[in-house]
Chain A
Protein backbone atom coordinates (compact mmCIF):
# COMPACT_ATOMS: atom_id res chain seq x y z
CA UNK A 1 0.00 0.00 0.00
CA UNK A 2 1.20 3.46 -0.87
CA UNK A 3 2.83 6.09 1.26
CA UNK A 4 -0.17 8.40 0.95
CA UNK A 5 -2.51 5.65 2.15
CA UNK A 6 -0.44 5.24 5.32
CA UNK A 7 -0.15 9.00 5.86
CA UNK A 8 -3.93 9.34 5.54
CA UNK A 9 -4.67 6.40 7.80
CA UNK A 10 -2.06 7.51 10.36
CA UNK A 11 -3.62 10.99 10.45
CA UNK A 12 -7.10 9.55 10.88
CA UNK A 13 -5.75 7.20 13.58
CA UNK A 14 -4.22 10.15 15.47
CA UNK A 15 -7.56 11.94 15.11
CA UNK A 16 -9.18 9.09 17.06
CA UNK A 17 -6.34 8.87 19.59
CA UNK A 18 -6.24 12.57 20.44
CA UNK A 19 -9.71 12.82 21.98
CA UNK A 20 -10.93 13.29 25.50
CA UNK A 21 -10.56 10.06 27.48
CA UNK A 22 -13.76 8.23 28.42
CA UNK A 23 -13.13 8.26 32.16
CA UNK A 24 -10.44 10.28 33.96
CA UNK A 25 -9.74 7.86 36.81
CA UNK A 26 -9.29 4.90 34.46
CA UNK A 27 -7.13 6.99 32.15
CA UNK A 28 -4.81 8.13 34.97
CA UNK A 29 -4.32 4.55 36.12
CA UNK A 30 -3.46 3.51 32.56
CA UNK A 31 -0.93 6.34 32.19
CA UNK A 32 0.80 5.27 35.42
CA UNK A 33 0.92 1.66 34.21
CA UNK A 34 2.43 2.76 30.92
CA UNK A 35 4.97 5.00 32.68
CA UNK A 36 6.12 1.95 34.57
CA UNK A 37 6.30 -0.12 31.39
CA UNK A 38 7.96 2.53 29.20
CA UNK A 39 10.02 4.43 31.78
CA UNK A 40 10.91 2.36 34.84
CA UNK A 41 11.42 -0.86 32.93
CA UNK A 42 13.79 0.87 30.51
CA UNK A 43 16.04 2.34 33.21
CA UNK A 44 18.43 -0.63 33.22
CA UNK A 45 19.14 -0.76 29.50
CA UNK A 46 19.45 3.04 29.23
CA UNK A 47 21.85 3.21 32.18
CA UNK A 48 23.97 0.33 30.92
CA UNK A 49 24.33 1.68 27.39
CA UNK A 50 24.99 5.23 28.55
CA UNK A 51 27.74 4.22 30.96
CA UNK A 52 29.55 2.17 28.35
CA UNK A 53 29.11 4.76 25.59
CA UNK A 54 30.45 7.55 27.79
CA UNK A 55 33.43 5.42 28.73
CA UNK A 56 34.16 4.41 25.13
CA UNK A 57 33.88 8.01 23.83
CA UNK A 58 36.39 9.07 26.50
CA UNK A 59 38.93 6.38 25.51
CA UNK A 60 38.46 7.01 21.76
CA UNK A 61 38.93 10.77 22.20
CA UNK A 62 42.02 10.21 24.32
CA UNK A 63 43.38 7.94 21.60
CA UNK A 64 42.84 10.65 18.93
CA UNK A 65 44.37 13.59 20.69
CA UNK A 66 47.99 14.22 21.30
CA UNK A 67 50.63 16.87 20.79
CA UNK A 68 49.05 20.27 20.45
CA UNK A 69 45.39 19.23 21.24
CA UNK A 70 44.73 19.95 24.92
CA UNK A 71 43.66 17.15 27.29
CA UNK A 72 40.52 18.98 28.35
CA UNK A 73 39.16 18.18 24.86
CA UNK A 74 38.28 14.73 26.25
CA UNK A 75 35.74 16.18 28.69
CA UNK A 76 34.46 18.57 26.02
CA UNK A 77 33.97 15.78 23.46
CA UNK A 78 32.27 13.41 25.91
CA UNK A 79 29.86 16.18 26.96
CA UNK A 80 29.03 17.29 23.44
CA UNK A 81 28.58 13.78 22.08
CA UNK A 82 26.35 12.69 24.92
CA UNK A 83 24.21 15.85 24.94
CA UNK A 84 23.92 16.48 21.22
CA UNK A 85 23.59 13.03 19.73
CA UNK A 86 24.04 9.89 21.76
CA UNK A 87 21.46 10.49 24.48
CA UNK A 88 18.74 12.33 22.52
CA UNK A 89 18.98 10.23 19.34
CA UNK A 90 20.48 6.83 19.98
CA UNK A 91 18.62 6.23 23.25
CA UNK A 92 15.26 6.85 21.49
CA UNK A 93 16.39 4.54 18.67
CA UNK A 94 17.13 1.84 21.22
CA UNK A 95 13.78 2.52 22.89
CA UNK A 96 12.09 2.22 19.50
CA UNK A 97 13.34 -1.36 19.52
CA UNK A 98 12.39 -2.13 23.10
CA UNK A 99 9.26 -0.05 23.69
CA UNK A 100 8.08 0.18 20.07
CA UNK A 101 8.09 -3.56 19.46
CA UNK A 102 6.35 -4.09 22.80
CA UNK A 103 3.58 -1.61 21.94
CA UNK A 104 3.11 -3.03 18.44
CA UNK A 105 2.99 -6.64 19.55
CA UNK A 106 0.64 -5.87 22.44
CA UNK A 107 -1.83 -4.01 20.22
CA UNK A 108 -1.40 -6.51 17.38
CA UNK A 109 -2.23 -9.39 19.69
CA UNK A 110 -5.25 -7.50 21.02
CA UNK A 111 -6.39 -6.92 17.44
CA UNK A 112 -6.10 -10.52 16.25
CA UNK A 113 -7.74 -11.89 19.42
CA UNK A 114 -10.67 -9.45 18.93
CA UNK A 115 -9.98 -7.60 22.21
CA UNK A 116 -9.98 -4.30 20.30
CA UNK A 117 -13.32 -5.23 18.70
CA UNK A 118 -14.63 -5.99 22.20
CA UNK A 119 -13.69 -2.46 23.30
CA UNK A 120 -15.41 -0.95 20.27
CA UNK A 121 -18.57 -2.99 20.86
CA UNK A 122 -18.72 -1.63 24.40
CA UNK A 123 -18.77 1.87 22.94
CA UNK A 124 -15.17 2.68 23.89
CA UNK A 125 -12.90 4.57 21.50
CA UNK A 126 -10.27 1.82 21.43
CA UNK A 127 -7.54 3.93 19.80
CA UNK A 128 -7.93 6.61 22.46
CA UNK A 129 -8.19 4.12 25.34
CA UNK A 130 -5.17 2.05 24.29
CA UNK A 131 -2.81 4.51 22.62
CA UNK A 132 -3.16 7.93 24.31
CA UNK A 133 -1.84 6.66 27.68
CA UNK A 134 1.19 5.19 25.89
CA UNK A 135 1.90 8.46 24.07
CA UNK A 136 1.61 10.52 27.23
CA UNK A 137 3.75 8.08 29.20
CA UNK A 138 6.40 8.11 26.46
CA UNK A 139 6.35 11.92 26.38
CA UNK A 140 6.72 12.05 30.16
CA UNK A 141 9.36 9.34 30.60
CA UNK A 142 11.69 9.36 27.61
CA UNK A 143 13.03 12.90 28.23
CA UNK A 144 13.88 11.86 31.79
CA UNK A 145 15.64 8.75 30.52
CA UNK A 146 17.62 10.93 28.13
CA UNK A 147 18.66 13.35 30.89
CA UNK A 148 19.71 10.38 33.01
CA UNK A 149 21.65 9.02 30.05
CA UNK A 150 23.51 12.32 29.61
CA UNK A 151 24.50 12.38 33.28
CA UNK A 152 25.57 8.76 33.43
CA UNK A 153 27.49 8.92 30.15
CA UNK A 154 29.47 12.01 31.14
CA UNK A 155 30.05 10.61 34.63
CA UNK A 156 31.28 7.30 33.23
CA UNK A 157 33.55 9.12 30.76
CA UNK A 158 35.09 11.10 33.60
CA UNK A 159 35.56 8.02 35.77
CA UNK A 160 37.26 6.05 32.97
CA UNK A 161 39.35 9.05 31.93
CA UNK A 162 40.66 9.59 35.46
CA UNK A 163 41.05 5.93 36.37
CA UNK A 164 43.02 5.13 33.19
CA UNK A 165 45.15 8.23 33.61
CA UNK A 166 44.31 9.87 30.27
CA UNK A 167 42.86 12.93 32.02
CA UNK A 168 42.85 14.54 35.43
CA UNK A 169 39.63 15.45 37.19
CA UNK A 170 40.45 19.13 36.74
CA UNK A 171 41.09 18.78 32.99
CA UNK A 172 37.92 16.78 32.47
CA UNK A 173 35.83 19.24 34.49
CA UNK A 174 37.33 22.15 32.59
CA UNK A 175 36.48 20.46 29.27
CA UNK A 176 32.97 19.76 30.47
CA UNK A 177 32.41 23.44 31.27
CA UNK A 178 34.20 25.16 28.42
CA UNK A 179 32.08 26.76 25.71
CA UNK A 180 28.91 25.28 27.21
CA UNK A 181 25.76 26.43 25.50
CA UNK A 182 22.54 25.74 27.42
CA UNK A 183 20.60 25.74 24.16
CA UNK A 184 22.26 22.40 23.30
CA UNK A 185 20.28 20.81 26.14
CA UNK A 186 17.09 22.52 24.96
CA UNK A 187 17.75 21.24 21.44
CA UNK A 188 18.31 17.74 22.79
CA UNK A 189 15.09 17.76 24.82
CA UNK A 190 13.00 19.15 21.95
CA UNK A 191 14.30 16.33 19.75
CA UNK A 192 13.62 13.80 22.47
CA UNK A 193 9.99 14.87 22.92
CA UNK A 194 9.35 14.65 19.18
CA UNK A 195 11.02 11.23 19.02
CA UNK A 196 8.96 10.01 21.99
CA UNK A 197 5.76 10.87 20.13
CA UNK A 198 7.03 9.25 16.94
CA UNK A 199 8.08 6.02 18.65
CA UNK A 200 4.83 5.59 20.57
CA UNK A 201 2.43 6.62 17.81
CA UNK A 202 4.12 4.89 14.87
CA UNK A 203 4.49 1.60 16.71
CA UNK A 204 0.91 1.85 18.00
CA UNK A 205 -0.30 2.56 14.45
CA UNK A 206 1.32 -0.62 13.14
CA UNK A 207 0.09 -2.76 16.02
CA UNK A 208 -3.44 -1.36 15.91
CA UNK A 209 -3.81 -2.07 12.20
CA UNK A 210 -2.58 -5.65 12.34
CA UNK A 211 -4.77 -8.18 10.57
CA UNK A 212 -4.43 -11.94 10.45
CA UNK A 213 -2.69 -14.08 13.05
CA UNK A 214 0.51 -14.57 15.01
CA UNK A 215 2.72 -14.21 11.94
CA UNK A 216 1.25 -10.78 11.19
CA UNK A 217 1.74 -9.69 14.81
CA UNK A 218 5.46 -10.46 14.39
CA UNK A 219 5.56 -8.59 11.07
CA UNK A 220 3.79 -5.58 12.56
CA UNK A 221 6.26 -5.52 15.41
CA UNK A 222 9.20 -5.56 12.99
CA UNK A 223 7.62 -2.92 10.76
CA UNK A 224 6.90 -0.74 13.78
CA UNK A 225 10.57 -0.70 14.80
CA UNK A 226 11.89 -0.16 11.27
CA UNK A 227 9.46 2.67 10.46
CA UNK A 228 9.93 4.33 13.84
CA UNK A 229 13.74 4.28 13.48
CA UNK A 230 13.65 5.59 9.90
CA UNK A 231 11.24 8.40 10.82
CA UNK A 232 13.32 9.27 13.90
CA UNK A 233 16.45 9.52 11.74
CA UNK A 234 14.79 11.70 9.08
CA UNK A 235 13.23 13.91 11.75
CA UNK A 236 16.60 14.15 13.49
CA UNK A 237 18.14 15.61 10.34
CA UNK A 238 15.26 18.06 9.83
CA UNK A 239 15.18 19.21 13.46
CA UNK A 240 18.95 19.60 13.61
CA UNK A 241 18.91 21.77 10.51
CA UNK A 242 16.00 23.81 11.87
CA UNK A 243 17.42 24.30 15.37
CA UNK A 244 21.18 24.39 14.82
CA UNK A 245 21.60 25.12 11.12
Chain B
Protein backbone atom coordinates (compact mmCIF):
# COMPACT_ATOMS: atom_id res chain seq x y z
CA UNK B 1 0.00 0.00 0.00
CA UNK B 2 1.20 3.51 -0.79
CA UNK B 3 0.01 6.36 1.39
CA UNK B 4 0.36 10.00 0.44
CA UNK B 5 -0.28 12.46 3.26
CA UNK B 6 -0.73 16.23 2.90
CA UNK B 7 1.70 16.60 0.02
CA UNK B 8 2.23 20.08 -1.41
CA UNK B 9 4.67 21.13 -4.11
CA UNK B 10 5.50 24.48 -5.69
CA UNK B 11 7.85 25.47 -8.50
CA UNK B 12 9.15 29.02 -8.60
CA UNK B 13 6.31 30.37 -6.46
CA UNK B 14 3.62 28.55 -8.45
CA UNK B 15 1.75 25.97 -6.40
CA UNK B 16 1.26 22.74 -8.36
CA UNK B 17 0.04 20.39 -5.61
CA UNK B 18 -2.02 21.51 -2.60
CA UNK B 19 -2.34 19.33 0.47
CA UNK B 20 -2.87 16.06 -1.40
CA UNK B 21 -3.70 12.88 0.52
CA UNK B 22 -4.39 9.56 -1.16
CA UNK B 23 -4.10 5.82 -0.60
CA UNK B 24 -3.17 3.33 -3.33
CA UNK B 25 -4.20 -0.27 -2.75
CA UNK B 26 -2.19 -3.45 -3.43
CA UNK B 27 -3.34 -5.79 -6.18
CA UNK B 28 -5.48 -3.01 -7.66
CA UNK B 29 -5.29 -0.61 -10.58
CA UNK B 30 -5.20 2.83 -8.94
CA UNK B 31 -5.73 5.58 -11.51
CA UNK B 32 -4.79 9.23 -11.16
CA UNK B 33 -6.79 11.18 -13.71
CA UNK B 34 -7.13 14.84 -14.53
CA UNK B 35 -6.73 17.43 -17.24
CA UNK B 36 -3.33 18.22 -18.74
CA UNK B 37 -1.45 20.50 -16.36
CA UNK B 38 -3.59 19.55 -13.36
CA UNK B 39 -0.55 18.23 -11.46
CA UNK B 40 -0.95 14.45 -11.81
CA UNK B 41 2.53 13.86 -13.25
CA UNK B 42 4.11 16.04 -10.55
CA UNK B 43 2.18 14.03 -7.94
CA UNK B 44 3.55 10.79 -9.39
CA UNK B 45 7.08 12.19 -9.43
CA UNK B 46 6.67 13.20 -5.78
CA UNK B 47 5.49 9.69 -4.92
CA UNK B 48 8.45 7.97 -6.61
CA UNK B 49 10.92 10.54 -5.29
CA UNK B 50 11.91 12.27 -8.53
CA UNK B 51 10.59 15.47 -6.89
CA UNK B 52 10.82 16.18 -3.19
CA UNK B 53 7.52 17.45 -1.76
CA UNK B 54 7.71 20.84 0.00
CA UNK B 55 5.36 19.49 2.68
CA UNK B 56 3.87 16.07 3.42
CA UNK B 57 4.93 12.45 3.39
CA UNK B 58 4.82 9.37 1.17
CA UNK B 59 4.90 5.91 2.76
CA UNK B 60 5.44 2.52 1.15
CA UNK B 61 3.86 -0.15 3.34
CA UNK B 62 4.38 2.04 6.37
CA UNK B 63 7.98 2.96 5.48
CA UNK B 64 8.22 6.74 5.33
CA UNK B 65 9.98 7.43 2.02
CA UNK B 66 10.28 11.22 1.78
CA UNK B 67 12.65 11.69 4.71
CA UNK B 68 14.84 8.66 3.94
CA UNK B 69 18.50 9.04 3.04
CA UNK B 70 19.87 7.97 -0.36
CA UNK B 71 20.50 4.35 0.69
CA UNK B 72 17.04 3.96 2.21
CA UNK B 73 15.41 5.35 -0.91
CA UNK B 74 17.55 3.04 -3.02
CA UNK B 75 16.18 0.00 -1.18
CA UNK B 76 12.60 1.10 -1.82
CA UNK B 77 13.31 2.00 -5.42
CA UNK B 78 14.45 -1.57 -6.05
CA UNK B 79 10.83 -2.49 -5.29
CA UNK B 80 9.48 0.05 -7.80
CA UNK B 81 8.95 -0.47 -11.51
CA UNK B 82 7.97 2.39 -13.77
CA UNK B 83 6.64 2.62 -17.28
CA UNK B 84 7.33 6.09 -18.68
CA UNK B 85 5.17 8.03 -21.09
CA UNK B 86 7.80 7.78 -23.85
CA UNK B 87 8.92 4.32 -22.64
CA UNK B 88 12.39 5.73 -21.74
CA UNK B 89 14.18 2.70 -23.14
CA UNK B 90 17.96 3.01 -23.37
CA UNK B 91 18.38 3.52 -27.10
CA UNK B 92 22.02 2.38 -27.15
CA UNK B 93 20.99 -1.08 -25.88
CA UNK B 94 19.05 -3.92 -27.47
CA UNK B 95 15.63 -4.84 -26.12
CA UNK B 96 17.08 -7.79 -24.21
CA UNK B 97 19.82 -5.62 -22.70
CA UNK B 98 17.20 -3.06 -21.64
CA UNK B 99 15.29 -5.72 -19.72
CA UNK B 100 18.52 -7.24 -18.39
CA UNK B 101 19.80 -3.87 -17.22
CA UNK B 102 18.24 -3.67 -13.72
CA UNK B 103 18.99 -7.36 -13.16
CA UNK B 104 22.68 -6.92 -14.04
CA UNK B 105 22.95 -3.87 -11.82
CA UNK B 106 21.40 -5.39 -8.71
CA UNK B 107 21.52 -9.17 -8.88
CA UNK B 108 24.58 -11.34 -8.43
CA UNK B 109 23.24 -14.46 -10.20
CA UNK B 110 25.07 -15.88 -13.26
CA UNK B 111 24.34 -14.13 -16.54
CA UNK B 112 22.50 -17.20 -17.88
CA UNK B 113 19.95 -17.03 -15.08
CA UNK B 114 19.51 -13.30 -15.55
CA UNK B 115 18.93 -13.80 -19.27
CA UNK B 116 16.32 -16.44 -18.47
CA UNK B 117 14.50 -14.00 -16.24
CA UNK B 118 14.70 -11.27 -18.91
CA UNK B 119 13.39 -13.68 -21.56
CA UNK B 120 10.54 -14.66 -19.23
CA UNK B 121 9.59 -10.98 -18.91
CA UNK B 122 9.74 -10.50 -22.68
CA UNK B 123 7.59 -13.59 -23.20
CA UNK B 124 5.15 -12.28 -20.59
CA UNK B 125 4.64 -9.15 -22.69
CA UNK B 126 4.45 -11.30 -25.83
CA UNK B 127 7.72 -10.12 -27.36
CA UNK B 128 9.90 -13.23 -27.19
CA UNK B 129 11.56 -12.58 -30.57
CA UNK B 130 12.35 -8.90 -30.11
CA UNK B 131 15.40 -9.37 -27.88
CA UNK B 132 18.00 -8.53 -30.52
CA UNK B 133 16.23 -5.47 -31.83
CA UNK B 134 16.94 -1.88 -30.81
CA UNK B 135 14.14 0.33 -29.42
CA UNK B 136 14.17 2.48 -32.57
CA UNK B 137 13.19 -0.61 -34.61
CA UNK B 138 10.00 -1.15 -32.59
CA UNK B 139 6.52 0.37 -32.88
CA UNK B 140 5.17 2.58 -30.08
CA UNK B 141 3.07 -0.26 -28.64
CA UNK B 142 6.00 -2.67 -28.69
CA UNK B 143 8.20 -0.10 -26.95
CA UNK B 144 5.57 0.22 -24.21
CA UNK B 145 5.56 -3.55 -23.79
CA UNK B 146 9.35 -3.61 -23.52
CA UNK B 147 9.02 -0.80 -20.96
CA UNK B 148 6.62 -3.01 -18.99
CA UNK B 149 8.97 -5.99 -19.27
CA UNK B 150 11.83 -3.88 -17.90
CA UNK B 151 9.58 -2.52 -15.13
CA UNK B 152 8.61 -6.01 -13.92
CA UNK B 153 12.08 -7.55 -14.32
CA UNK B 154 12.95 -7.05 -10.66
CA UNK B 155 9.58 -8.39 -9.41
CA UNK B 156 8.45 -4.98 -8.14
CA UNK B 157 5.87 -4.52 -5.39
CA UNK B 158 4.87 -1.16 -6.82
CA UNK B 159 4.28 -0.35 -10.49
CA UNK B 160 3.87 3.19 -11.82
CA UNK B 161 2.63 3.86 -15.34
CA UNK B 162 2.76 7.40 -16.69
CA UNK B 163 0.28 7.80 -19.55
CA UNK B 164 0.76 4.20 -20.77
CA UNK B 165 -1.56 4.76 -23.74
CA UNK B 166 -0.27 8.04 -25.08
CA UNK B 167 0.32 7.84 -28.81
CA UNK B 168 -1.31 4.42 -29.17
CA UNK B 169 -4.36 3.42 -31.18
CA UNK B 170 -7.46 2.31 -29.19
CA UNK B 171 -6.90 -1.42 -29.80
CA UNK B 172 -3.24 -1.35 -28.77
CA UNK B 173 -4.24 0.77 -25.77
CA UNK B 174 -6.59 -1.94 -24.59
CA UNK B 175 -3.85 -4.58 -25.04
CA UNK B 176 -1.51 -2.48 -22.86
CA UNK B 177 -4.24 -1.80 -20.25
CA UNK B 178 -5.12 -5.48 -20.00
CA UNK B 179 -1.47 -6.45 -19.76
CA UNK B 180 -0.88 -4.02 -16.88
CA UNK B 181 -4.07 -5.18 -15.19
CA UNK B 182 -3.13 -8.88 -15.53
CA UNK B 183 0.37 -8.28 -14.20
CA UNK B 184 -1.02 -6.29 -11.27
CA UNK B 185 -3.12 -9.24 -10.18
CA UNK B 186 -0.50 -11.85 -11.04
CA UNK B 187 2.23 -10.21 -8.93
CA UNK B 188 -0.14 -8.51 -6.45
CA UNK B 189 1.49 -5.16 -7.19
CA UNK B 190 0.27 -1.76 -6.07
CA UNK B 191 -0.20 -0.22 -9.49
CA UNK B 192 -0.60 3.51 -10.01
CA UNK B 193 -1.58 4.63 -13.50
CA UNK B 194 -1.55 8.29 -14.55
CA UNK B 195 -3.92 8.84 -17.43
CA UNK B 196 -6.38 11.18 -19.05
CA UNK B 197 -7.62 8.53 -21.44
CA UNK B 198 -11.22 7.76 -20.44
CA UNK B 199 -11.28 4.51 -22.44
CA UNK B 200 -8.38 3.28 -20.36
CA UNK B 201 -9.98 4.44 -17.11
CA UNK B 202 -13.24 2.65 -17.92
CA UNK B 203 -11.42 -0.47 -19.11
CA UNK B 204 -8.89 -1.06 -16.39
CA UNK B 205 -9.32 1.05 -13.25
CA UNK B 206 -10.30 -0.24 -9.80
CA UNK B 207 -9.87 3.01 -7.90
CA UNK B 208 -9.73 6.52 -9.29
CA UNK B 209 -8.28 9.79 -7.93
CA UNK B 210 -9.29 12.90 -9.85
CA UNK B 211 -6.76 15.72 -9.62
CA UNK B 212 -8.06 19.21 -10.23
CA UNK B 213 -6.15 22.47 -9.73
CA UNK B 214 -3.48 20.70 -7.71
CA UNK B 215 -5.80 18.91 -5.28
CA UNK B 216 -7.72 15.63 -5.17
CA UNK B 217 -11.20 16.80 -6.11
CA UNK B 218 -12.78 13.33 -6.10
CA UNK B 219 -11.79 9.77 -5.34
CA UNK B 220 -13.67 6.50 -5.32
CA UNK B 221 -14.11 3.21 -7.10
CA UNK B 222 -14.41 3.05 -10.86
CA UNK B 223 -18.03 1.88 -10.47
CA UNK B 224 -18.91 5.20 -8.83
CA UNK B 225 -17.01 7.26 -11.36
CA UNK B 226 -19.82 7.83 -13.87
CA UNK B 227 -22.13 9.02 -11.13
CA UNK B 228 -19.82 11.99 -10.85
CA UNK B 229 -20.31 14.22 -7.86
CA UNK B 230 -17.94 17.08 -8.64
CA UNK B 231 -18.59 19.66 -11.39
CA UNK B 232 -14.97 19.56 -12.61
CA UNK B 233 -15.05 15.75 -12.73
CA UNK B 234 -18.30 15.77 -14.72
CA UNK B 235 -16.82 18.30 -17.10
CA UNK B 236 -13.72 16.11 -17.52
CA UNK B 237 -15.58 12.80 -17.87
CA UNK B 238 -18.17 13.98 -20.32
CA UNK B 239 -15.99 16.21 -22.46
CA UNK B 240 -16.39 13.90 -25.46
CA UNK B 241 -19.59 13.33 -27.44
CA UNK B 242 -19.20 9.58 -26.94
CA UNK B 243 -19.21 9.86 -23.16
CA UNK B 244 -22.19 12.26 -23.21
CA UNK B 245 -24.13 9.77 -25.34
CA UNK B 246 -23.17 6.99 -22.95
CA UNK B 247 -24.47 9.03 -20.02
CA UNK B 248 -27.72 9.74 -21.80
CA UNK B 249 -28.22 6.10 -22.78
CA UNK B 250 -27.71 4.88 -19.21
CA UNK B 251 -30.05 7.43 -17.60
CA UNK B 252 -33.27 5.85 -16.34
Contacts and interface: CB of A to CB of B under 8 A. Distances in A.
Interface of A: 22-23, 26, 113-115, 117-118, 120-125
29 contacts: A22-B105, A23-B105, A26-B104, A113-B86, A114-B84, A114-B85, A114-B88, A115-B88, A115-B90, A117-B50, A117-B88, A118-B82, A118-B84, A118-B88, A118-B90, A120-B49, A120-B77, A121-B77, A121-B80, A121-B82, A122-B77, A122-B78, A122-B102, A122-B105, A122-B106, A123-B73, A123-B74, A123-B77, A123-B106
Contacts of A118: 82, 84, 88, 90
Nearest to B90: A115
Nearest to A33: B92
Nearest to A22: B105
B20 interface: no
A26 B88 contact: no
Nearest to A29: B104
Contact of B78 (A114, A115, A123): A123
A128 B49 CA distance: 18
Contacts of B88: 113-115, 117-118
Contacts of B75: 123
Cβ-closest 3 pairs across A and B: A123-B77, A114-B88, A123-B74
Contacts, number: 49
Contact of B50 (A23, A113, A121, A124): A121
Contacts of B50: 117, 120-121
Contacts of A122: 77-78, 101-102, 105-106, 154
Nearest to A109: B91
A212 to B, nearest CB: 14
Nearest to B81: A121
Contacts of B154: 122
A123 B78 CA distance: 6
Interface in B171-224: none
A22 B90 CA distance: 18
Contacts of B73: 123
Nearest to B85: A114
B42 interface: no
Given A115-B88, A118-B82, A23 B102 contact: no
A114 B89 CA distance: 9
A128 to B, nearest CB: 11
Contacts of B49: 120
A26 B97 CA distance: 12
Contacts of A124: 105
B161 interface: no
A122 B76 CA distance: 9
B48 interface: yes
B162 to A, nearest CB: 8
